[in-house]
A and B are shown apart, each in its own frame.
Chain A
Amino acid sequence: MKPTVRLQREPFDAAAEATKLARGRNDVGAVVTFTGICRGTENGEPISALTLEHYPGMAEAEIGRHAAEAAGRWPLLGVTIVHRYGRIEPGEDIVLVVTTSSHREAAFAAAEFLMDYLKTRAPFWKQVERTDGNAWVDAKAADDSAAARWMPQRRTSGS
């Protein structure tokens, strides 16, 4: 199973990407599609747009590593990740994660894992446009905690 990882400026079609992974197969029983969308506020303040800067080359490579790890942890039949960059306005899509599997548990868990890793390890940086000027968005501790949930648990002695 070869994950599809794409970076692009243009909007994507989530339904079309999901169809591509599921169509023409009789082994896919579950398709999970997650779309991340640009909201109209950041930290309670209205924004007119956000701009995503990225590290070309590393972004694709790092997301590819996450997808490969997901495929190693869960019995996935397909993975597609599309991440936009550039200027994005409220209401527009930012990121797409599609996972397919025979049964739902793997598709749900892998999609959540991939988003938690994307939020903390994929080299993108958001800058918001507000009425009082532009500002870089700070990384959130909650995202680090979410990603840490997926780390292997240490065995305690005697258990």
Chain B
Amino acid sequence: MNVKLRYFAWVRERVGKPEEQVEIPPTVATVGDLMAWLASRGAEYAHAFENRNVIRAAIDQNHVRPETLIKGAGEIAFFPPMTGG
């Protein structure tokens, strides 16, 4: 499936870009699978996703858990724990 990925804060810095359009293989079913697949794409991705427990995700601007399925997603974002307020 083709989907837009967005990265924020130090995830964005490590990946080296704020967003990209990617073609994801059908074997990648969940948010957790997607992080593992992204980590395999290159050194900068491996560095960004080296501690997946710390990475948070949103699908179409809603918080999701690692076990959430990505099917049908238009936009998936990855970011560190939030520090607003």
Q: Which residues of A contact B (CB under 8 A)?
A: 36, 52-55, 57-59, 61-62, 83, 94-95, 115, 118-127, 136-139, 143
A-B contact pairs, 14 of them (CB 8 A): A36-B85, A55-B79, A59-B84, A95-B85, A118-B84, A119-B84, A120-B81, A121-B63, A123-B79, A124-B82, A127-B9, A136-B10, A136-B83, A137-B83
The total number of A-B Cβ pairs within 8 Å is 72
Shortest Cβ distance from B52 into chain A, in angstroms? Answer: 16
Question: What is the CA–CA distance of A62 and B61 in the complex, to the nearest angstrom?
Answer: 8
B84 near A58 with CB under 8 A, answer no
A118 near B85 with CB under 8 A, answer yes
Tell me which residues across on chain B come within 8 A of A58, comparing CB atoms: 58, 61-62, 77
Tell me which residues across on chain A come within 8 A of B63, comparing CB atoms: 62, 121
Shortest Cβ distance from A81 into chain B, in angstroms? Answer: 10
A136 near B85 with CB under 8 A, answer no
B85 near A123 with CB under 8 A, answer no
Given A57-B61, A58-B58, A121-B10 contact (CB < 8 Å): no
B83 near A123 with CB under 8 A, answer no
- Count B interface residues, CB 8 Å: 16
In the complex, B8 has a CB within 8 A of chain A: yes
B9 near A120 with CB under 8 A, answer no
Residue from B8, B9, B80, B85 within 8 A of A122 (CB atoms):
B85
